[in-house]
Chain A
């Protein structure tokens, strides 16, 4: 069943209290972030319905927002998502090669997930790290000044982290 822990419910209430009374819908983006973190890194329909219920808004109000913003995953994604920037400034510093390299290395194309569900490769648009290009977002953090060697290391890092967690 989709339900936040008591701890998270406190957090939900704290977030709602940041906005004027009666304007609890304003908490929608932060709550979707919270829900996505909590329920497997993507937003399944029951999860969105649950958020609607928490905010006392209609489910469609949640769907239309969840589909608008690129950070909400509407399908399951790999355990580790390599979101590599491909916009101009990164392209000038070789992001095309990095994307191709990751693709070959993992045997997937942008938008795909490895068969073991471990990695998703996604191309994204400018993340505000243009001076540290080429770069990717991995979870909460940016990985910058990417080289092929760094990519190899990152893949290893993820694999060993996953192995430890199992």
Chain B
């Protein structure tokens, strides 16, 4: 069994409620942080922990926190990104649904560190039943003196509000999220300025993922140095992986980033192998936007070394032969799956979710969807494959936000590793009809 820092109590009966959570040692980090530490020493601990943003970009959290601007007399905000919409990703939902107090605890400590008296949880609208769970946890925390005015008599005031989105993947991008929080369309802003300088209502704002903020709890409890000893290299601590697709045991797993991809897929502790004894064909290891890898490059790197479930190892080989940890959405395809069809559904997703501000993204995602659909259904030409390659290349890097890249990468990787499958569809139109 690997180390568990977040989900260790997930199966305790009643852990969703304050009393049980508290009895199990909950809210100790708030007492420690508010009474024994200062905002600066908390930021230092988080820096020492090596924690990297769990939303997908992997940016060092402590460093981001130390960048927050502190202009005189201007309020600052912490915003928790619970928009979770990257296909394959459903880990934040699990945390909020089963361990709401862990998130609230992390939010209080982080709010104190950042000086946020009003903290917002921006949750995707479709998770419509979860705001009730969070709001109940918030009420319980308040009733017990952990939220509201003068928390634990320390003079620190903090409120946490839940803000529901309304169905738009793009609102997970932090600047689109901020626009949406302000009651606007989710059109990303140009960065810089980063939110830490100019965010919600033009105030300094830190946006962090649910899992990142939950991880602050064990970091404060055990100390940053101890946390950094778990894991390997720059992949410190534990990571939640949401596993789905053709595996025996889909679900959310906490790993310590030292296990191999092979162990993760085949061990009974995790995915439990592929159903019906089928063979592994391919995998998208970090959410739909990261490159798909064929089985051979997934289990071993191009150099023939074992591939591990951590940031460095998953990206070993760059885009030519590697992929990314991303948001931890692990999507497995068995030998019967069609990579072209899978890529088509993802292209359709990104076209649907493009906010339309940049022409390469708005037009390019539509073209890619159309061409992929044609190829998938046996109506494509050989030249379409090159056209597709060309379009994705022209989107990447030419847009305001990375949604354009996110749309381009899966297409590029599918062609790179599975070109023969695209060609098969073109050459076998009859058999491709759906």
Contact = CB atoms under 8 A, between A and B. Distances in A.
The answer to whether A and B come from one shared complex is yes
B128 A64 contact: no
A28 B87 contact: no
Contacts of A18: 118, 120, 159, 161, 163
A57 B127 CA distance: 28
B87 A130 contact: yes
Given A20-B75, A68-B185, A141-B129, A87 B349 contact: yes
Interface string B174-195: 0000001111111000000000
Contacts of B85: 126, 128
Interface in A83-136: 86-89, 91-93, 125-133
Interface string B240-265: 00111110001110000000000000
A2 interface: no
Contacts of A125: 87, 169, 348-349, 352-353
Interface residues of A, number: 41
Contact of B87 (A27, A57, A69, A89): A89
Nearest to A69: B166
Interface stretch (B88-96, B146-154, B216-224, B297-305): B88-96
Contacts of A79: none
Given A140-B129, A141-B129, A65 B183 contact: yes
Contacts of A20: 75, 118, 201
B84 interface: yes
B331 A70 contact: no
B328 to A, nearest CB: 12
Interface in B353-387: 353, 355
Given A125-B352, A141-B128, A68 B168 contact: yes
Contacts of B196: none
Interface stretch (A5-13, A29-37, A151-159): A29-37
A71 interface: yes
A152 B168 CA distance: 30
B329 interface: yes
A32 to B, nearest CB: 7
Interface stretch (B27-35, B338-346, B388-396, B399-407): B338-346
A88 B345 contact: yes
B163 A30 contact: yes
Contact of B251 (A28, A29, A33, A131): A131
A32 B183 CA distance: 10
A133 B331 CA distance: 12
Contacts of B127: 128
Given A18-B161, A125-B169, A131-B90, A33 B242 contact: no
A88 B128 contact: no
B200 to A, nearest CB: 8
Contact of A89 (B163, B252, B331): B331
Contacts of A33: 125, 164, 166
Interface in B62-98: 75, 84-90, 93
B41 interface: no
Interface string A17-54: 01010010111111011000000000000000000000
A88 to B, nearest CB: 5
Contact of A69 (B75, B167, B242, B288): B167
B165 A69 contact: yes
Given A29-B166, A125-B87, 5 more contacts: A18-B163, A71-B167, A128-B126, A130-B245, A141-B128
15 contacts: A20-B201, A26-B181, A28-B184, A68-B355, A70-B166, A89-B88, A89-B245, A91-B345, A93-B246, A126-B86, A126-B87, A127-B126, A131-B242, A131-B250, A140-B128
Interface of A: 18, 20, 23, 25-30, 32-33, 55, 57, 61, 64-65, 68-72, 86-89, 91-93, 125-133, 137, 139-141
Interface of B: 75, 84-90, 93, 118, 120, 124-129, 159, 161, 163-169, 180-186, 201, 242-246, 250-252, 284, 288, 329, 331, 333, 337, 341-342, 345-346, 348-349, 352-353, 355
